[in-house]
């Protein structure tokens, strides 16, 4: 179907999101709660919070607020990316399986495992297909996702062969996110691909789609002749659900939309309002290329740590999260270099490093992570849903103990059963 969204619709949608954000920020600041009762909008506000001006805004945006509360609830998934200093491999994999079993029973929609090389951050995950094969035997319903396969490092033939096996083991639950890779050290596996990694990703993605559908692609065999190759076994799913990863660059969102792929992103270097603008570009590119935007998912992975009491939770998570952030500082230089900047954290003195970690922790805890109590994170979830996000991928293994991680999961599960509709 050649689906098209009119420019007027996109302009209206942008205005609607902007106005809704403004109201949600006001509700958060004034501790105003909103809910639906029998289809009608209800507000619970402290005395004096509903000024005449705010009441007029609410009246003007009443239908938008009702639509927001009626919208499909957010899905939740698990996202793993732990660092080796925090545990031994056996403990990391035991936590992975334990968390997956819990998530399976409590309605989480999927579990993501990354592809990581040559670094303690994410050190337990060099091969997402291997872990997905194991998870296929531990679960029955959740989607098994790579988050992400670094396609410029991989042969599309091997990607399709390995994940076709997982598709059979899981009864057709494979979904793959693909990424370009950005850490130059990873490209010790394919140094010739680093410079052109973005174009290589999209070229190889086309080969992945063809092979998954049972088509053949040309390759040179050992004697030098050109042959056509197909992969076996044939996967269960006729078409592979594909996600692509983007963070800051608006052009990446456009290109992902043009490819007809689901989108995986985060709040690493952007606020929710910035993400909302980029999601408009993504959905516009989907529609311009004949894809129905309503059929495509947007997932945001967030560092997640929940407790019963806000200040106690803050004290518990501060040290492990700062330790995690410190372990990523060496990657900041690589990331900045790939973006054309020149930041070298190795030149920071102790005071500068401490100040940076304090700043980063405050920013994440206050508005870029799912940290706090089930009540305190509701405004962030509401804003993400208003921006057009469908799924929250909970990054759990950044340093908390296994017991703390399982406690967080127990506090997330009621959100899944009740929906994120109760408090803005």
> Would you say residue 2 lies in a domain?
no
Six token digits for residue 36? 């639906």
Q: What is the pLDDT of residue 282?
A: 96
Please say whether the beta carbons of 423 and 382 come within 8 A. yes
Closest Cα to residue 393, out of 151, 198, 177? 177
Mean pLDDT, all residues of the chain: 87
Residue 328 scores a pLDDT above 70: yes
> Would you say residue 424 lies in a domain?
no
Q: What is the pLDDT of residue 240?
A: 98
C-alpha 16/C-alpha 345 separation (Å) is 41
Closest Cα to residue 381, out of 408, 335, 347, 416? 416
Q: What is the pLDDT of residue 3?
A: 44
Looking only at the bridges linking them, the beta strands covering 391-395 and 75-79 are parallel
Question: Among 16, 40, 69, where does a domain finish?
Answer: 69
Give tens-digit pLDDT for 129-152.
999 999 999 999 999 999 899 999
Q: What is the pLDDT of residue 151?
A: 96
C-alpha 316/C-alpha 333 separation (Å) is 28
Partners of 299 in the β-ladder:
264, 391
Q: Are residue 339 and residue 398 in the same domain, yes or no?
A: yes
Q: What is the pLDDT of residue 299?
A: 97
| Most confident of the following: 26-40, 80-94, 127-141, 325-339 | 127-141
Q: Are residue 114 and residue 155 in the same domain, yes or no?
A: yes
Q: Are residue 122 and residue 233 in the same domain, yes or no?
A: yes
Q: Are residue 331 and residue 363 in the same domain, yes or no?
A: yes
169 or 2, which is more confident? 169
Q: What percent of the chain has pLDDT over 70?
A: 87
172: left (phi over 0), alpha (psi -120 to 50) or beta: left
Work out the burial of residue 351: count CB atoms within 10 Å of its CB; fewer than 13 is exposed, 13-18 middle, 19 or more buried: exposed
Q: Are residue 110 and residue 187 in the same domain, yes or no?
A: yes
Work out the number of other CB atoms within 10 angstroms of the CB of residue 286: 25
Q: What is the pLDDT of residue 50?
A: 87
Q: Are residue 55 and residue 167 in the same domain, yes or no?
A: no
> Would you say residue 406 lies in a domain?
yes
pTM: predicted TM-score of the whole model, two decimal places: 0.82
Question: Among 48, 69, 90, where does a domain finish?
Answer: 69
Closest Cα to residue 180, out of 194, 160, 161? 194
Q: Residues 387-404: what's their mean pLDDT? A: 93
Q: Are residue 197 and residue 229 in the same domain, yes or no?
A: yes
Domain with 353 in it: what CATH number? Answer: 3.20.20.30
Give the C-alpha distances (Å, rounded to integers) separating 315 from 92, 227, 308, 376, 395: 24, 61, 12, 15, 19
Q: Are residue 172 and residue 34 in the same domain, yes or no?
A: no
Give tens-digit pLDDT for 225-278.
999 999 999 999 999 999 999 988 999 999 999 999 999 999 988 899 899 999
> Domain range spanning residue 389?
75-311+314-418
Domain with 47 in it: what CATH number? Answer: 1.10.10
> Would you say residue 190 lies in a domain?
yes
C-alpha 386/C-alpha 34 separation (Å) is 14
* 3-class DSSP state of 191: helix
Looking only at the bridges linking them, the beta strands covering 226-229 and 217-220 are antiparallel
Please say whether the beta carbons of 138 and 174 come within 8 A. no
Give the C-alpha distances (Å, rounded to integers) separating 364 from 118, 358, 380, 424: 26, 10, 11, 19
Question: Among 69, 93, 115, where does a domain finish?
Answer: 69
> Would you say residue 411 lies in a domain?
yes
Closest Cα to residue 246, out of 261, 232, 233? 261
Q: Are residue 372 and residue 299 in the same domain, yes or no?
A: yes
Q: What is the pLDDT of residue 124?
A: 85
**78-87, 90-99, 297-306, range with the lowest pLDDT:** 78-87
> Would you say residue 60 lies in a domain?
yes
Rg for the chain, CA atoms, rounded: 22
Tally helices (H) and strands (E) across the chain: 14, 13
Residue 1 scores a pLDDT above 80: no
**58-72, 92-106, 274-288, range with the lowest pLDDT:** 58-72
Give me the number of domains the chain comprises. 2
Q: Are residue 230 and residue 248 in the same domain, yes or no?
A: yes
Q: What is the pLDDT of residue 15?
A: 61
Residue 71 scores a pLDDT above 80: no
Q: Are residue 162 and residue 202 in the same domain, yes or no?
A: yes
Residue 331 scores a pLDDT above 70: no
Under the banding of pLDDT at 50, 70 and 90, the label for residue 336 is very low
Residue 315 scores a pLDDT above 70: yes
Q: Are residue 38 and residue 84 in the same domain, yes or no?
A: no
> Would you say residue 323 lies in a domain?
yes
Lookup result for tokens 């950005």: 182
């Amino acid at each position: 179907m050649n689906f098209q969204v009119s420019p007027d619709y996109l302009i209206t949608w942008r205005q609607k999101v902007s106005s809704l954000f403004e109201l949600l920020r006001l509700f958060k600041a004034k501790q105003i709660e909103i809910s639906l009762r029998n289809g009608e909008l209800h507000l619970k506000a402290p005395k004096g919070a509903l000024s005449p001006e705010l009441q007029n805004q609410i009246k003007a945006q009443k239908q938008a607020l009702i639509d927001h509360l009626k919208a499909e609830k957010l899905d939740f998934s698990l996202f793993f990316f732990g660092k080796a200093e925090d545990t031994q491999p056996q403990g990391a994999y035991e936590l992975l399986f334990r968390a997956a079993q819990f998530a399976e029973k409590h309605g989480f929609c999927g579990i993501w495992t990354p592809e990581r090389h040559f670094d303690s951050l994410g050190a337990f995950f060099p091969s997402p297909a291997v872990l997905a094969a194991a998870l296929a035997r531990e679960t029955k319903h959740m989607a098994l996702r790579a988050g992400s396969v670094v396609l410029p490092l991989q042969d599309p033939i091997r990607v399709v062969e390995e994940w076709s096996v997982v598709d059979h083991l899981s009864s057709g639950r494979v979904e793959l996110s693909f990424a370009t890779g950005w850490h130059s050290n990873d490209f010790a596996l394919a140094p010739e691909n680093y410079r052109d990694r973005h174009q290589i990703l999209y070229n190889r993605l086309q080969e992945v789609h063809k092979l998954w559908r049972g088509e053949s692609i040309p390759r040179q065999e050992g004697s030098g002749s050109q042959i056509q190759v197909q992969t076996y076994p044939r996967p269960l799913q006729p078409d592979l659900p594909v996600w692509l990863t983007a963070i800051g660059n608006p052009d990446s969102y456009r290109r992902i939309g043009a490819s007809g792929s689901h989108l995986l992103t985060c709040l690493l270097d952007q606020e929710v309002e910035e993400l909302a603008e980029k999601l408009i570009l993504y959905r516009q590119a989907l529609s311009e290329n004949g894809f129905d935007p309503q059929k495509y998912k947007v997932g945001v992975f967030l560092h997640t740590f929940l407790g019963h009491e806000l200040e106690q939770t803050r004290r518990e998570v501060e040290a492990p999260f700062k330790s995690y952030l410190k372990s990523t500082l060496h990657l900041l230089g690589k990331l900045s270099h790939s973006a054309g900047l020149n930041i070298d954290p190795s030149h920071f003195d102790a005071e500068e490093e401490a100040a940076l970690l304090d700043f980063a922790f405050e920013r994440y805890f206050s508005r870029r992570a799912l940290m706090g109590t089930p009540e305190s994170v509701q405004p962030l979830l509401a804003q993400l849903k208003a921006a057009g996000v469908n799924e929250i991928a909970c990054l759990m293994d950044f340093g908390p103990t296994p017991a703390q991680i399982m406690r967080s999961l127990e506090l997330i599960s009621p959100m899944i059963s009740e929906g994120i509709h109760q408090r803005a």
